[in-house]
């Protein structure tokens, strides 16, 4: 595995732990008002994770995990990522991205971890921050 891909994986794991903790806290508050287990098991954690990522990425192209790993997300033209772009990228990553990766794996491996399908879809790339 490419070093950049390893860093990206570690960053995602860090962000997942943080999102899980926040989700648990929100669930304790919402549980009193919403009785559906589906909401607590699927909807709340998913929406919180996407919202946290979108908010953090739109403020400098980094989540907490990306910051700890020394990475940043940028548009290919060098501009900052918007919250909408980050949200769409996260949804695509968790739905169709892996299918596209396995169909054209050689192409994405040539990018050395800087561009994965969910990055390419929205003309973005991840790089190590100087």
Q: In whole angstroms, what is the distance from residue 24 CA to residue 22 CA?
A: 5
- Cα separations in angstroms, 44 against 14, 22, 31, 85, 125: 19, 10, 10, 21, 28
What are 21-58's pLDDT values in tens digits? 999 999 888 888 888 889 888 999 999 999 999 999 99
Whole-model pTM: value is 0.88
Per-residue pLDDT at 130 exceeds 80:
no
- Domain chopping of the chain, boundaries: 3-128
pLDDT at position 90 is 94
What are 56-106's pLDDT values in tens digits? 999 999 999 999 999 999 999 999 999 999 999 999 999 999 999 999 888
What are 4-28's pLDDT values in tens digits? 999 999 999 999 999 999 999 998 8
**C-beta of residue 4 within 8 angstroms of C-beta of residue 113:** yes
């Amino acid at each position: 595995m490419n070093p950049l891909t390893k860093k990206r994986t570690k960053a995602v794991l860090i962000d997942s732990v943080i999102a899980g903790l926040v989700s648990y806290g929100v669930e304790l508050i919402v549980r009193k008002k919403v009785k559906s287990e589906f909401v607590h098991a699927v909807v709340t954690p998913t929406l919180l994770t996407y919202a946290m990522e979108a908010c953090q990425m739109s403020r400098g192209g980094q989540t907490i995990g990306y910051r700890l790993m020394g990475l940043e997300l940028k548009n290919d033209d060098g501009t900052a990522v918007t919250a909408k772009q980050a949200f769409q990228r996260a949804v695509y990553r968790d739905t169709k991205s892996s299918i596209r990766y396995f169909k054209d794996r050689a192409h994405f491996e040539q990018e050395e971890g800087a561009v994965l399908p969910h990055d390419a879809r929205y003309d973005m790339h991840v790089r190590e921050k100087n």
